[in-house]
Chain A
Amino acid sequence: MTAIPQPGAGEPRRPNISSASIQLPAVTTYEQVDNEIIDTLKPTKKWFMALLLAITCLAIGAGSWTYQIHEGLGVAGYNPPVMWGVYIITFVFWVGIGHAGTLISAILYLFRAGFRTTIYRAAEAMTVFAVMTAGLFPIIHIGRPWKFFWLLPYPNWRLLWPQFKSPLVWDVFAILTYLTISTTFLFIGLIPDIAVLRDREKNPTKKAILSALSFGWRNSEAEWRHFVRAYLFLAAFSTPLVLSVHSVVSFDFAMALTPGWHTTIFPPYFVAGAIFSGFAMVWTIIIPIRKWWKLEHYVTLNHLDATAKMVLFTSLVVGLAYMIEFFIAWYGGVEAEQAYFWNRVFGQWWWAAWIMLTCNMILPLSLFSQKLRRNPSWLWILSIFINIGMWFERFVIVVPSLSHEFEPWQWSGYMPTWVDYGILLGSFGWFFMWFLLFIRQLPVFALSEIKEIVPPRMKHGHSHTGGH
């Protein structure tokens, strides 16, 4: 039974979210879409190797964490007054990664930016897994992780509530909200695609599961109408979250007195940085996928070119934010602030600051060249640099600020230990494990939306799309 959705004669065309310039000339039929994309679900040796690697990394992280819980946080590299370290840095890093997904699927959807179509599923899955990863870090980071639920406002007879003035409590809400919405958004978008898988599935157990997950999707017009409305609604709902989550994360710093943190520029700066790093991570993931599964004709160079422009733009925003930070530190005239920024760039932490500036400000300038924007290998290499640079951006925000505060007697250094590195590695293992499992089970490219770009096969075999 073939289940290729086709518009009926005389029906209005479904709204096509792609712009005219983002077409897939090498994709001609719905069957091709189904076959080529569902091909990614077949297990391959490489996939198993990758999963094994991810699980190994995860095991190292889990082992390190177990050791840390048993011994105490002292096994990590904290060096008071640097009371926050790799875990908070990595938390912010993953939350940032988690931004691009919703930006691509929601904001770009609302703006009808067609280049999102082929990459949004991967980006959205990345978002969910990145937020899942990020969510672990506050727990890893705290001194008594078995009490983490005290940060939640659960009812209890002693009427003990969290401190709603604390940005950390805002964080809990922001992250949980974002995780809920992005998961829902991912799942809603998957429904028609799961229906495709269901229809192709032979194994009765799997078929039953897929049936349940697709909510009995029958591809009817009414269903599509509701689906599109729901999708639009969720996109509108998620859009402010994209801005709010990282703004709230930035409040963790901006609300504090600490020199280097106490600044109003943080919310926009963090959001831009998050989008920047999120797009980089999308490249890190999507470029190998399109190459290994030979899907270059889906994620075309046009699409990559468009994302590269986004990256270039956000890089310029982030770079401007860096410059403004320095300017305000100088212009503000607060001595502790000035001393801190000097120490950040030319003092104790020059190496971290220059890794950040090079990776985030200087290297992305290469994207002014169209040739490089359309060179997937360069984009992939650049994405790694940006990921490193954005990790170091958070390092530069967290560590140098804390190490060089008001009280000179308490200035210090910081050096992570193998436990920090183990857990950092484990977070990548955790993230890629979920992602690898995802691409093995569900289509990593949105079948239904890609089909919207492909010229539909007319009822009577007309191959052109003109209609009547």
Chain B
Amino acid sequence: MSQDVTDTTPTEGVKRREFLKVLGATSAAATVVGCSSDKVEKLIPYVVSPDNTVPGVSTYYATTCRECAAGCGLLVETRDGRAIKAEGNPEHPVNHGALCARGQAALQGLYNPDRFRSPMVRQGDKLVATTWDKAIQTLQAKLGEAKSKGTAKEAVFINQHEQGSFPSFLDSWLAGYGMPGAISYDAEAPLGAIAANKAAYSTSWPKLDFQAAKLVVSFGADFLDGWGMGVTTQVDFSEARAKLEGGPRAIYVGARRSLTGLNSDSWIPARPGASAIVAQALLAAVGGKGGASLKQAADAAGVSVASLESLANELKSLKPSLIIAGGNAENDTETALAVAELNKALGNVGITIKPAEGYNTYEGTASHASVREAASRMADGKVAIAFVRGANPAHTLQGAVKFADAFKKVGFKVSFSSYPDETTSLCDLVLPDHHALESWGDAETVKGTLSLQQPTMDPVFDTRQTADVLIAVAKGDPTMASKMPADYRTVIAARLGGNAGLTAALPTGMGKGSALPHPAAKTVSAVTGGGLAKSKGEYFLHVYQSPVLGDGRGANKPWLQELPDPVNKIAWQTVIELHPETATKLNIEEGDHATVTTSTGLVTAPVYLYIGLRPDTVAIQAGRGHNAYGRYADGCGVNPMSLLPVAEDGKSGATLLAGTKAGVTKATGASRLVTTEGSGRQHGRGIARALTVADLMAGKINPEKEEFVGQAKVGFLPGLRSPVANDAQGELGDPKSKDKGQYDPNHWSGVAKRRWAMTIDLARCTGCSACVTACYSENNIPTVGATHQGAQVMPDRTGFGANITRSREMAWIRLERYFEIDREPKDVEWNPDFETRVVPMMCQHCGNAPCEPVCPVYATYHSPDGLNVQVYNRCVGTRYCSNNCPYKVRYFNWFGYGEPNRTQYAFPEPLHWQLNPDVTVRGKGVMEKCSFCVQRIKEAENRASLEKREMQPDEFTTACAQACPSRAIIFGDAADDRWTVAKMVKDERAYHVFEELNTYTAVVYLQKVTHPSASAPAKA
């Protein structure tokens, strides 16, 4: 960019005006943000400014998230024509303002540097750029050919599953050419649950009301890991748990403790495939029909009879309860059906499970079997033309399906994908779709509320929305041209009752629309038993989808690759999870390579020791292991789908991810784990504290609290203490002056009267890590990669690599996941009864900050309103502040992550379009840390000041608090009682981390509240 700027510099000497221009241009280039979505070329001010665009002021567009099937409402912040932040729409009934990490990372899909810049066409074994006219003509010709030769009826269109008008529009388009309807494919869809819901409740997805439940039992339904409605569920679950005494006790049944399992109070580690018999036995135990005895179920599931008996008793005593099931493991539809019966028997339907208020999310989702069936037709050479849009079956289907080989046999293959991926790279023609944030669309997750999807900015590249491409293609066919609308926007407008309705819906992103027909998915008979029954091995293989990468579609977004998995804390890497006991038996240490072998393949990866896994099970996360999905995904991790045989659930047609038998052997070599975990237990340091609900009710809140000799005598809330006043440099530091400037509480600005503070309610926090991505997005935090930027490996001579492998991640907020165990995980014996605590840790903005006095250049100091401020420009990088920080929340720029033209550059064009212009991109050699989103504080202050009013309580919040789907983070002015945070800090559960160090932190944690079984003795 700077090159273009210098081109405008006159060669015959520099005049003042030119100098100023260049100066401005250079600063613009330095902050890496220009003035429009086009590449900055000339510095010419707008003659006529576009509507709604004030330079430096954000414009927000309400739209709908398309990162998973749920369809959350978004508010996309745009600055000068570029989308810079995705946040939840507070008015939206699906997500109530929250947004998960994946939704926020939509921006990195929009600005992905590997996106197709234009249509591509195959020449030999390469895809080369072409023009839209030529591409559309090619497709028209091929379609005409298919129509005339009669091969159209054997065509296959694999579309990503989504709600709204598009599926039916697509089907009508396909029908126009005599092609069968599209396969609405979602590798993440919990098909077992959907099938059971349809059978039991006559809806694909009922509303689950956690707040009404006293007991939540999940049979492998990972509702905090993205299962089902994602954010909706998490918001509800956290609200329920925040009721403390009235909150539900949670029990998880499954072979591996997922994030959902870790957030549950008890874990019944049933072996893969055995959930069904457990559910049936419980049904019998509570008085339902049929089923095995609890003893038989316990034997089959490899769990203790006592645990099942206790569960049965709790089901009988704790009513109403909410029992959910249906992942994609063996027999999961059976489980879900039994669970539905159980819910009916316990009278939960209508109270905690509300079919009448169901969601449309999974209406019309095709079974995984139908994609496999299409692949077998392709393999037989029956398919002449195939389309794929937004789906990547070559990566997400079982390796044994050999989708890629089958797909290659198709005569003409068209992809509408915006990114190169494993499926698209095989195609003959690529017609890149707009990103969802550039497109028109709609979704109707909540029946009756139409969620609008509108473009938030001009297209980044020369892409076109698929619907419009289909229209353009159809215009070439005389029989179809007349049926086609002018463009897809008019289709959306029509759903909202014309342009007026559309205009009315634009500001809120929601409107009332006519109900949509949902094209029913074609049912295909599933391949059952076969592969799974024949599989051999000593261990059960448990493959699960990543909570952050999903089925792998997130893998090309560096924020998501860098986000440590909420459970195993691994980033940029696939690990084989083994229980420490199993590992000891196999003579494997953490980091050693192991090979998992099944009848269909083998995978070698480093081992991670996980205590939340059955010793007879080996778990591998799906989502990584790409080979054609762009620079951030390729060569990073392995794809466990290659281990899975062709085995599907007989009732739902779901790919069975868990239940295959596998062998595990030690392989040669070892790797450093790309982990952010230091020690996974607290060593009694009292960082993440918890108490049982019984203790809470008995008032035994803080029994461990003790007074220390020498402890300063201050009120519990240190926020109001102002130890910073003495640092004041009134009247330019004149020692005789009494003027303390803004540090004087009586200063006209009143700034010293404020004390910005934060509370984090651990009873709510699930550890989902959405706050981390929010922070990356808001504060221009660079991703650093495992050993080097991206998946690329540049180990140094010590073999450590250079970035996360040396703990150099830059996350200003991190989720510390502590197991409450008394020894290192490697020495832990099998015991499913362990507690997990998660604590978000960021700069604590200490009132008495250890980092401040040690900085030799005043680069970190205390602001009058209680912020611990980091001045990047002043920092010389002695890193003393970090050494003296007990919380270890300061991060150093080891390389020029923010400097273009460096290999370590974190924002290659156009990723840097996302950068928040309100926040500096830090240079190498300086320290950085959480600023409490000081730019948001200042923005709110300025807004109030411009509007000549006081700042309103809770007028704004930080990025992490804004995103948090658990609503665990509250930010505000603790010195002003009108703010919520001022009330929260006085909560009886409140504590400071390392209070004994007299740091007077501004971040106050509220203890987690656990719900142990009433029969079990309460743990100390």
Whether A associates with B in a native complex is: yes
The chain A residues found within 8 Å of chain B, CB to CB, are 71-75, 77-81, 83-84, 138, 141-144, 147-148, 150-151, 159-163, 165-169, 172, 252, 255-258, 335-336, 339, 402, 405-412, 415-418
Kindly state the separation between the CA atoms of A282 and B888 in the bound complex, as whole angstroms.
Answer: 40
Query: Are A143's CB and B807's CB within 8 A?
Result: no
Q: Beyond A79-B806, A143-B892, is A165–B853 a contact (Cβ under 8 Å)?
A: yes
15 sampled A-B residue pairs with Cβ under 8 A? A80-B806, A80-B882, A81-B883, A148-B876, A151-B876, A163-B858, A257-B884, A257-B886, A407-B886, A408-B678, A408-B681, A409-B677, A409-B680, A412-B807, A418-B797
Q: Beyond A163-B858, A407-B887, is A143–B924 a contact (Cβ under 8 Å)?
A: yes
Nearest first, the 8 closest Cβ-Cβ pairs linking A and B are A143-B877, A143-B925, A74-B894, A411-B678, A83-B879, A410-B888, A408-B679, A168-B856
Query: Are A409's CB and B883's CB within 8 A?
Result: no
Given contacts A142-B876, A168-B854, A409-B814, 12 further A-B contacts (CB under 8 A): A74-B808, A78-B892, A80-B888, A81-B883, A143-B924, A143-B927, A144-B923, A144-B925, A151-B857, A166-B854, A406-B685, A409-B687
Contacts of A161 in B (CB 8 A): 733, 858
**Can you list, as one digit per residue, whether each of B793-823 has a CB less than 8 Å from chain A (1) or not (0)?**
0001110101100111000001010100000
**Can you list, as one digit per residue, whether each of B927-940 has a CB less than 8 Å from chain A (1) or not (0)?**
10000000000000
Kindly state the separation between the CA atoms of A163 and B855 in the bound complex, as whole angstroms.
Answer: 7
Q: Beyond A257-B850, A407-B685, is A74–B807 a contact (Cβ under 8 Å)?
A: no
Q: Beyond A168-B880, A415-B800, A417-B796, is A73–B886 a contact (Cβ under 8 Å)?
A: no
Query: Are B883's CB and A84's CB within 8 A?
Result: yes
Contacts of B796 in A (CB 8 A): 75, 417-418
Query: Are A162's CB and B877's CB within 8 A?
Result: no
Query: Are A162's CB and B850's CB within 8 A?
Result: no
| B891 is an interface residue with CB less than 8 A from chain A | yes
Contacts of B997 in A (CB 8 A): 257, 406
Name A167's closest neighbour in chain B (CB-CB).
B854
Q: Beyond A405-B888, A417-B797, is A150–B874 a contact (Cβ under 8 Å)?
A: yes
Set B877, B883, B894, B895: member contacting A256, Cβ < 8 A? B883
Q: Beyond A83-B892, A141-B878, A150-B874, is A169–B677 a contact (Cβ under 8 Å)?
A: no
The chain B residues found within 8 Å of chain A, CB to CB, are 677-685, 687, 732-733, 796-798, 800, 802-803, 806-808, 814, 816, 818, 841, 850, 853-858, 874-880, 882-884, 886-888, 891-896, 904, 923-927, 994, 997
Query: Are A166's CB and B894's CB within 8 A?
Result: no
Contacts of B876 in A (CB 8 A): 142-144, 147-148, 150-151
Query: Are B874's CB and A144's CB within 8 A?
Result: no
Query: Are A409's CB and B925's CB within 8 A?
Result: no
Kindly state the separation between the CA atoms of A406 and B891 in the bound complex, as whole angstroms.
Answer: 17
Shortest A160–chain B CB gap in Å is: 7
Query: Are A162's CB and B886's CB within 8 A?
Result: no
Kindly state the separation between the CA atoms of A1 and B904 in the bound complex, as whole angstroms.
Answer: 69
Contacts of A72 in B (CB 8 A): 893-896, 904, 924-925
Query: Are A163's CB and B895's CB within 8 A?
Result: no
Set B683, B856, B896: member contacting A163, Cβ < 8 A? B856
Contacts of A252 in B (CB 8 A): 880
Name B800's closest neighbour in chain A (CB-CB).
A415
Kindly state the separation between the CA atoms of A339 and B888 in the bound complex, as whole angstroms.
Answer: 17
Shortest B798–chain A CB gap in Å is: 5
Query: Are A78's CB and B874's CB within 8 A?
Result: no
Name B886's closest neighbour in chain A (CB-CB).
A406
Set B875, B886, B891: member contacting A80, Cβ < 8 A? B891
Query: Are A409's CB and B678's CB within 8 A?
Result: yes
Contacts of B816 in A (CB 8 A): 407, 409
Shortest B999–chain A CB gap in Å is: 9
Query: Are B880's CB and A74's CB within 8 A?
Result: no
Q: Beyond A72-B893, A81-B883, is A143–B853 a contact (Cβ under 8 Å)?
A: no
Q: Beyond A258-B884, A407-B685, is A142–B925 a contact (Cβ under 8 Å)?
A: yes
Q: Beyond A151-B856, A168-B880, A406-B685, is A256–B850 a contact (Cβ under 8 Å)?
A: yes
Name B927's closest neighbour in chain A (CB-CB).
A143
Shortest B380–chain A CB gap in Å is: 54
Kindly state the separation between the CA atoms of A416 and B904 in the bound complex, as whole angstroms.
Answer: 20
Kindly state the separation between the CA atoms of A256 and B798 in the bound complex, as whole angstroms.
Answer: 30
The listed residue with most B CB atoms (<10 A of its CB), out of A151, A410, A412, is: A410
Contacts of A336 in B (CB 8 A): 685
Query: Are A411's CB and B679's CB within 8 A?
Result: yes
Shortest A77–chain B CB gap in Å is: 7
Kindly state the separation between the CA atoms of A160 and B857 in the bound complex, as whole angstroms.
Answer: 8
Shortest B925–chain A CB gap in Å is: 3
Shortest A69–chain B CB gap in Å is: 9
Query: Are B683's CB and A73's CB within 8 A?
Result: no
Shortest B184–chain A CB gap in Å is: 42
Kindly state the separation between the CA atoms of A411 and B818 in the bound complex, as whole angstroms.
Answer: 13
Kindly state the separation between the CA atoms of A366 and B855 in the bound complex, as whole angstroms.
Answer: 44
Query: Are B858's CB and A73's CB within 8 A?
Result: no
Shortest A387–chain B CB gap in Å is: 24
Contacts of B679 in A (CB 8 A): 408-409, 411
Shortest B669–chain A CB gap in Å is: 18
The listed residue with most B CB atoms (<10 A of its CB), out of A79, A147, A167, A252, is: A147
Query: Are B856's CB and A166's CB within 8 A?
Result: yes
Kindly state the separation between the CA atoms of A408 and B886 in the bound complex, as whole angstroms.
Answer: 10
Set A77, A255, A407: member contacting B798, Cβ < 8 A? A77
Kindly state the separation between the CA atoms of A75 and B895 in the bound complex, as whole angstroms.
Answer: 8
Shortest A257–chain B CB gap in Å is: 5
Contacts of B877 in A (CB 8 A): 73, 142-144
Name A401's closest neighbour in chain B (CB-CB).
B883
Query: Are A166's CB and B853's CB within 8 A?
Result: yes
Contacts of B904 in A (CB 8 A): 72, 74
Kindly state the separation between the CA atoms of A133 and B798 in the bound complex, as whole angstroms.
Answer: 26
Contacts of A147 in B (CB 8 A): 876
Kindly state the separation between the CA atoms of A74 and B893 in the bound complex, as whole angstroms.
Answer: 8
Kindly state the separation between the CA atoms of A81 and B929 in the bound complex, as whole angstroms.
Answer: 14
Shortest A75–chain B CB gap in Å is: 7
Kindly state the separation between the CA atoms of A73 and B895 in the bound complex, as whole angstroms.
Answer: 7
Name A147's closest neighbour in chain B (CB-CB).
B876
Query: Are A163's CB and B893's CB within 8 A?
Result: no
Contacts of B879 in A (CB 8 A): 83-84, 143
Query: Are B681's CB and A143's CB within 8 A?
Result: no
Kindly state the separation between the CA atoms of A159 and B896 in the bound complex, as whole angstroms.
Answer: 30
Contacts of B892 in A (CB 8 A): 73, 78, 80, 83, 143
Query: Are B925's CB and A73's CB within 8 A?
Result: yes
Shortest B806–chain A CB gap in Å is: 5
Query: Are B888's CB and A159's CB within 8 A?
Result: no
Q: Beyond A162-B858, A163-B855, A407-B887, is A144–B683 a contact (Cβ under 8 Å)?
A: no
Query: Are B802's CB and A74's CB within 8 A?
Result: yes
Shortest B773–chain A CB gap in Å is: 19
The listed residue with most B CB atoms (<10 A of its CB), out of A75, A142, A255, A339, is: A142
Query: Are B802's CB and A415's CB within 8 A?
Result: no
Kindly state the separation between the CA atoms of A415 and B805 in the bound complex, as whole angstroms.
Answer: 12
Contacts of B802 in A (CB 8 A): 74-75
Kindly state the separation between the CA atoms of A409 and B886 in the bound complex, as whole angstroms.
Answer: 12
Kindly state the separation between the CA atoms of A147 and B926 in the bound complex, as whole angstroms.
Answer: 11
Set B685, B800, B850: member contacting A335, Cβ < 8 A? B685
The listed residue with most B CB atoms (<10 A of its CB), out of A71, A73, A144, A408, is: A408
Query: Are A71's CB and B883's CB within 8 A?
Result: no
Shortest B888–chain A CB gap in Å is: 4
Name A141's closest neighbour in chain B (CB-CB).
B878
Kindly state the separation between the CA atoms of A148 and B802 in the bound complex, as whole angstroms.
Answer: 25
Shortest A352–chain B CB gap in Å is: 16
Kindly state the separation between the CA atoms of A407 and B994 in the bound complex, as whole angstroms.
Answer: 9
Set A71, A144, A335, A410: member contacting B678, Cβ < 8 A? A410
Q: Beyond A411-B678, A412-B678, is A255–B854 a contact (Cβ under 8 Å)?
A: yes
Query: Are A406's CB and B994's CB within 8 A?
Result: yes
Kindly state the separation between the CA atoms of A406 and B844 in the bound complex, as whole angstroms.
Answer: 14
The listed residue with most B CB atoms (<10 A of its CB), out of A74, A138, A252, is: A74
Query: Are B856's CB and A79's CB within 8 A?
Result: no
